[in-house]
Amino acid sequence: MTLAQNSPQPRLADPARLAQARARARLDLAGFLHDEAKAELQERLIDVNRRFTAPALVTAFPDYWADLAPGARMVAPDEVLDLTPGTHDLVIHAMALHWADDPVGQIVQCRRALRPDGLFLSAAFGGETLVELRTALAQAETEVLGGLSPRVAPMAEIRDMGGLLQRAGLALPVADRLPKTVTYPDAFALMADLRAMGETNALADRHRKPAPRALFARMAAIYAANFPAADDEKRIRASFEIVFLSGWAPHDSQQKPLRPGAAKARLADALGTSAFDETARPVLHPSDD
Predicted TM-score of the model (pTM): 0.81
pLDDT at 148: 57
Pick the CATH number of 9-252 from 3.20.20.70, 3.40.50.150, 3.40.190.10, 3.30.465.10: 3.40.50.150
C-alpha–C-alpha distance, residues 135 and 137, integer Å: 6
C-alpha–C-alpha distance, residues 9 and 84, integer Å: 23
Confidence class for position 207, pLDDT limits 50, 70, 90: low
Domain ranges, ordered by start, for the chain: 9-252
Confidence class for position 77, pLDDT limits 50, 70, 90: very high
Residues counted in the chain: 289
Q: What is the pLDDT of residues 26-68, one digit of tens each?
A: 999 999 999 999 999 999 999 998 999 999 999 999 999 999 9
In eight-state DSSP terms, residue 200 is S
Nearest to 173 by CA among 238, 257, 95, 115: 257
Whether the Cβ atoms of residue 126 and residue 161 lie closer than 8 Å to each other: yes
